[in-house]
C-alpha cells in the first residue's frame, strides 16, 4: 500500500476538508506542530474521528525545538515534554493504528556520533516507558535529517529502530541533501526492505555543502524515480509531501503513481 498526502496546517482539520482530500484520492496528512502544539486533547479527539471517517491517516510533526543531546538537562527535558505532548494528541488520531510522531532528534554538538547515539537511545527508551504507561497508541519516528551537524543519518536510525523498537521517518530529500545532492535508491531500499511500513517525507530540496537549505516544489522526474523504486521493492509506505505547495505536489504524486 502507498499512502500519499500533504504536510498539513491548522486550517486543514475539519471533516469537510478531510473528505475533500479523500475525494481527491489522498489518504494521509501530517499535522504540523512545528512551532507550537496548537491542538487540545478534545480537539485532537474530534480531528481523529473525522479523519477515520474520511479514511485519512494522520501523523504528527513535533516542534523543531528539540535536542535530545543538549548539554543542558533542562533543554532535554523540555524536548521530551514537547514530544510527549504530541504523543498525547496523536493517541486520538487513527483508531487502533499507531500514530507516527515525527521529530528531529538531536544535534551532535561537541559530542561524538557514538556519544550522541547513546544519549538519543537512552531518551527514546525513557519516553517509550511513559508511552506504554499511558497506553498511548503512537510510535516515535525520529527523522533522517538534512545536515551533517544533525543526528539522523539512515544507518543511525535503522540501528536505533532495531535496538529500541521505535519507528523512523525517511526524508528522501534530506538524504539527498546530506549527500551533496546524490541518493542511491538501490542502497537505500536494500536497507529499508526489512521494515514492514515506512513513514516518509518527500519534496524538492535546495542544499549547500553543509546540507539542507530549503524545501522546493517536487520535480515530476524525481517523483517518478522514487515511485519506480517503491514499486520495484514492493514497499508499504506513507509519502508526506513537504514542498512549499504540498497539496498540489501530493496530487502530482498520486497521478504519477
What domains does the chain contain, in order, with CATH numbers? 2-256 (3.20.20.150)
91-145 pLDDT, tens per residue? 999 999 999 999 999 999 999 999 999 999 999 999 999 999 999 999 999 999 9
Q: What share of the chain is helix, strand, coil (3-state, %, to 5)?
A: 45, 20, 35
First to last CA, the chain: 11
Percent residues over pLDDT 70 in the chain: 98
C-alpha angle 47-53-55 in degrees, rounded to nearest 5: 100
Question: CB under 8 Å to 186, separation ≥6 — which residues?
Answer: 229
Q: Residue 5 forms beta bridges with which residues?
A: 240
HEC readout, 144-209: CCCECCECCCHHHHHHHHHHHCCCCEEEHHHHHHHCCCCCCHHHHHHHHCCCCCEEEEECEEEEEC
**232-242, pLDDT tens digit by residue?**
999 999 999 99
pLDDT computed for residue 211 by the predictor:
86
For residue 226, give the nearest of 189, 255, 196 by alpha carbon. 189
The pLDDT value given to residue 41 = 95
Residue 246: name the closest of 86, 9, 25 by CA.
9
C-beta neighbour count of 57 within 10 angstroms: 20
pLDDT, tens digit, for every residue of 155-176? 999 999 999 999 999 999 999 9
The pLDDT of residue 221 is above 80: yes
Amino acid at each position: 500500500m502507498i499512502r500519499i498526502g500533504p504536510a498539513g496546517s491548522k486550517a486543514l482539520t475539519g471533516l469537510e476538508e478531510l473528505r475533500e482530500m479523500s475525494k481527491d484520492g489522498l489518504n494521509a496528512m501530517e499535522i504540523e506542530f512545528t512551532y507550537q502544539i496548537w491542538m487540545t486533547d478534545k480537539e485532537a479527539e474530534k480531528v481523529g474521528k473525522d479523519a477515520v471517517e474520511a479514511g485519512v491517516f494522520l501523523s504528527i510533526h513535533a516542534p523543531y525545538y528539540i535536542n535530545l543531546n543538549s548539554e543542558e538537562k533542562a533543554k532535554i527535558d523540555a524536548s521530551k515534554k514537547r514530544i510527549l505532548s504530541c504523543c498525547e494528541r496523536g493517541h486520538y488520531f487513527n483508531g487502533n493504528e499507531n500514530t507516527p510522531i515525527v521529530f528531529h532528534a538531536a544535534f551532535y554538538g561537541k559530542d561524538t556520533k557514538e556519544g550522541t547515539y547513546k544519549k538519543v537511545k537512552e531518551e527514546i527508551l525513557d519516553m517509550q516507558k511513559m508511552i506504554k504507561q499511558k497506553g498511548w497508541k503512537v510510535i516515535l519516528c525520529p527523522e533522517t535529517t538534512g545536515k551533517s551537524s544533525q543526528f539522523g543519518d539512515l544507518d543511525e536510525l535503522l540501528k536505533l529502530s532495531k535496538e529500541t523498537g521505535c519507528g523512523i521517518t525517511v526524508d528522501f530529500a534530506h538524504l539527498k541533501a546530506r549527500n551533496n545532492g546524490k541518493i542511491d535508491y538501490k542502497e537505500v531500499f536494500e536497507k529499508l526492505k526489512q521494515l514492514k511500513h515506512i513513514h516518509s517525507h518527500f519534496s524538492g530540496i535546495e542544499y549547500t555543502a553543509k546540507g539542507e537549505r530549503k524545501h522546493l516544489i517536487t520535480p515530476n522526474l524525481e517523483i517518478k524515480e522514487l515511485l519506480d523504486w517503491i514499486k520495484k521493492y514492493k514497499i508499504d509506505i506513507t509519502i508526506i509531501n513537504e514542498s512549499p505547495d504540498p497539496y498540489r505536489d501530493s496530487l502530482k504524486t498520486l497521478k504519477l503513481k
